Each structure stands twice: as structure tokens, then as C-alpha cells.
Structure 1
Amino acid sequence: MWEIAMQGYGMSGLFGLVRRRPAFALAAVLALSSVAGCAGTGAALTNVRYDLGPARPAASAGSGPALKVLDVGAADPLDSDRFVYRLAYADAQRIAVYRDSKWTAPPAQLLTQRLRAALSQRGAVLGGEDSVRAPVLKVELAQFEQVFDGRSQSHAAVTARATLTQDGKVLGQRTFVARAPASTPDAAGGAAALATASDDLVDQLVVWLGTQAGGAAQ
């Protein structure tokens, strides 16, 4: 409406309008400012990239036994930078992705970085290609998504399966589940909640590895 109403007014016409009809002119200026502000906000929210935030600072390097930590595996769509969500209240079996919000890297890669950083506080962390004889940790990411329980309520859901082996022998295997509420029902709230849930899952995994230390050392 304001776009149509303001057509045909140049700067001189606008000044004249201010003198003749100040109330109308003020309303027009406020409306245009509002539209410009909305346009700026929309542009700022296009193609937003999220990560898991800074890792928690390590007190010191651990002196425990070395551990080979393979890259976290995941099936599509968790092997891409797409931000997955699920409208559980409408169709719990269907997943979707945000159009303008993505991860800086695939969730499996982000979780690999988080896991290795945490385990480095326990002991030496090696790659799968290292020739050193050490237990091997393999993690498969099964779920990494924002789940909407209602239109204005959601939570982060992260599920992963860990397998610890050495010399071809399975020392232990377990599935880990982490959940965290989202403060807002949008991608920003989901990203923050997924970061919290990821740290929780990593903490669970580190504790579990501590219970496997006896078998791994044999």
C-alpha cells in the first residue's frame, strides 16, 4: 500500500507533502523504514552456517593409553551439511531440512572433531592409518536432528553407536543417546541444543571408554 501511495513523489514532492500533510508523511516514512528493516533482516538470515561452538578448554594432555579414533561414520543425510529437523507432532516418520540454515561441515565431521578433542584429555589420540598397536574406536552416527514436539517446542536428538576393537576382537559395543531442549523453535535454537546434546554424548562415550580400559590394555 505504501509503495503505491509514495509513487510519483520526488524529494521536492515529499518535502511539500510534509508541509501540507505532516501526519501522513510521517506514517509513510515509518512504513518505508519498517519495510527496509524487514528486508535487511531477511538478507541477514539467508544461508546461515552453524557449528558446535568452541570446544571446552582442556586442563592438560592426558597420559592414558593411546587410542585410534576413526572418523565418525554416518549415512545420508547426516553425511552432508544439511540441517535436519523432524515435525514429530505432525509426521514422526518424515524428516526435512532447513532451506537457509546449514552446518559448516557434515554433523559426522563436527562430532569427530568434538570426540577427538575430548579424548585427547585422556591420552594420545591416533588416526586409523597409524601403525601403532592400539585399540580402535569406531562411531556411527544414527541421529542428529532437531525434533519438534509441537509448533513452538523442540529438542535436539543425537544417537550414535560405538564399537571398540583391538586386533580384530570386539572389546565393547554400546549405543549412546543424548537429548537437550531447544530454547527457541528455530534453527538457532536447534543448533545450540544439538551442541549441548553432542557434548553430553561425548561425555557418555568417554566415561564408557574408561570402563573398557582393562580389556583394551590386554
Structure 2
Amino acid sequence: MTGCALPKSPVRATVYDFGPGSLSSPASQAAPRAPLGPLVIGEIEANPALDSTAILYRLAYADAQQLRPYAQARWSMTPAQLLRQRLRAYLGQSRALLNPGDSTLNIATTHTLRIELEEFSQLFEAPNQSVGLLRLRATLAQPSPSGEKWVAQHSVIVKRPATSTDAAGGVRALTAAADAAVQEIEQWLQPLAP
């Protein structure tokens, strides 16, 4: 009888990230690319609703304006931090990456990449169908004697289907969307910041 009176241990939230990333070094990959010029990657700015570790979803078929958090699932870092980590891992395979304020910056030649994360959620189009939706704006700038000079701006919208209608399915879809967005940014940058 006393076993029934013992308090239950609290349920812990499942913690997710984007996974381990590439499991081979750039040198072991097939066609090596010529090294590109250095790039400064600023902190990624995010919509205030995304400035937490909550894994968010929307029910587009019921109320697309409401962001809802999964109760027992969360990210290991904010989505902006996860995206910046993935961006640095991918872009760092072909160029030197610097942080704002690094003392090694060459003011005349180093471009700065800024990202604004606008949407990062699992979007349910129907009760049994969802996608990972990522929307961001990338801005490339270059310092000049009179201040920063705007070079180009690019909007990225990526949707990837979820394999299940739960947090785990949303995480997989959002990870795939983040990887696709990073690849699109890298292709956009190549002619602009060689």
C-alpha cells in the first residue's frame, strides 16, 4: 500500500538539436572546393517568439496565427543558436569564419553576413500532415571608410515534410529545412563574397 503513496518522478522534457552534423572532414569529401575569402558571421537575430528553447507548432487549419509549444519537448539551444552553429559548420568547410570584433579582421575585404530568423515552426496543414517551415532574411555587407556598405539581401523560405505529427517529426523536418536553407545561403554567397 505504501508504494502507491510515493510521489511520481517528474516527466522530463525530451531535448533535441540538429544532430552531429557532417561525420567526415572536408578533406575526405569528393570534390574539394577552392578556398573562399573570410566571412564574418554575426549573431542571428530572431523573432522574439523564437527566442526560447520551445519547439513550436502552428495549426494552419484551425488558427495559423497562434504559435503553440510542445509540452514535453524542447531544443538544446534557441533556434537562432542552432542555425548559427549549423551555418558555421557548413560555411567553414570552404572559408575562414570570423566573429564580429575579431582582431584579425581586414576592414577593406571582409564581408559580414547577418541573418534574421523570422519563422521556425512545425506547420500543421491538416491534423495528420505537417511540414517544418523556416523563413529567414540574409544580408551581406562590407565595411567601408564611411560606414558599412550594403552588398545584397536574400530571402529564404524552406518547407520540408514531417515524417510524423509529433515533436520528433517536427524536429526532423526543421533540421532538414535548416540544412536546405544553409545550402541556399552558401550558393547565394559564392558570387558575392568570393
TM-score w.r.t. structure 1 length? Answer: 0.75
Partner Cα distance (1:201, 1:213) in 2: 18
State the match for 1:162 in structure 2.
138
Higher RCO (CA < 8 A, seq sep 6+): 2
Match of 1:94 among 52, 66, 72: 66
Partner Cα distance (1:85, 1:120) in 2: 31
Given that residues 111 and 193 in structure 2 are in contact (C-alpha distance below 8 angstroms), is that contact kept between their aligned partners in structure 1?
Answer: no
Given that residues 40 and 97 in structure 2 are in contact (C-alpha distance below 8 angstroms), is that contact kept between their aligned partners in structure 1?
Answer: yes
Partner Cα distance (1:55, 1:103) in 2: 16
Given that residues 44 and 80 in structure 2 are in contact (C-alpha distance below 8 angstroms), is that contact kept between their aligned partners in structure 1?
Answer: yes
**Larger Rg computed on CA atoms:** 1
Q: Residue 58 of structure 1: CA displacement?
A: 3.8
Structure 1 segments of 4+ aligned residues over 4 angstroms from their partners: none
Q: Residue 191 of structure 1: CA displacement?
A: 0.3
SS at match of 1:94: strand
Q: Residue 71 of structure 1: CA displacement?
A: 1.5
State the match for 2:185 in structure 1.
205
Compare the two structures and name the one with the higher helix fraction.
Answer: 1
Count of residue pairs brought into register by the alignment: 174
Partner Cα distance (1:117, 1:142) in 2: 21
SS at match of 1:115: helix
What is the aligned-residue RMSD (CA, Å)?
A: 2.0
SS at match of 1:200: helix
State the match for 2:14 in structure 1.
48
State the match for 2:118 in structure 1.
142
Match of 2:172 among 192, 211, 216: 192
Partner Cα distance (2:71, 2:53) in 1: 12
Given that residues 37 and 96 in structure 2 are in contact (C-alpha distance below 8 angstroms), is that contact kept between their aligned partners in structure 1?
Answer: yes
State the match for 1:59 in structure 2.
26
- What code does the residue aligned with 2:115 have? V
Range 60-69 or range 86-95, more displaced: 60-69
SS at match of 1:55: coil
Given that residues 142 and 151 in structure 2 are in contact (C-alpha distance below 8 angstroms), is that contact kept between their aligned partners in structure 1?
Answer: yes
TM-score w.r.t. structure 2 length? Answer: 0.84
- What code does the residue aligned with 1:194 have? L
Equivalences for residues 1-218 of structure 1 within 5 A: 43=11, 46-56=12-22, 57-60=24-27, 63-131=35-103, 132-133=105-106, 134-167=110-143, 168-213=148-193
Give the unaligned 5+ runs of structure 1: 1-6, 8-38
Q: Residue 75 of structure 1: CA displacement?
A: 2.2
Identity %: 38
SS at match of 1:196: helix
Compare the two structures and name the one with the higher strand fraction.
Answer: 2
Given that residues 47 and 119 in structure 2 are in contact (C-alpha distance below 8 angstroms), is that contact kept between their aligned partners in structure 1?
Answer: no
Partner Cα distance (1:52, 1:180) in 2: 14
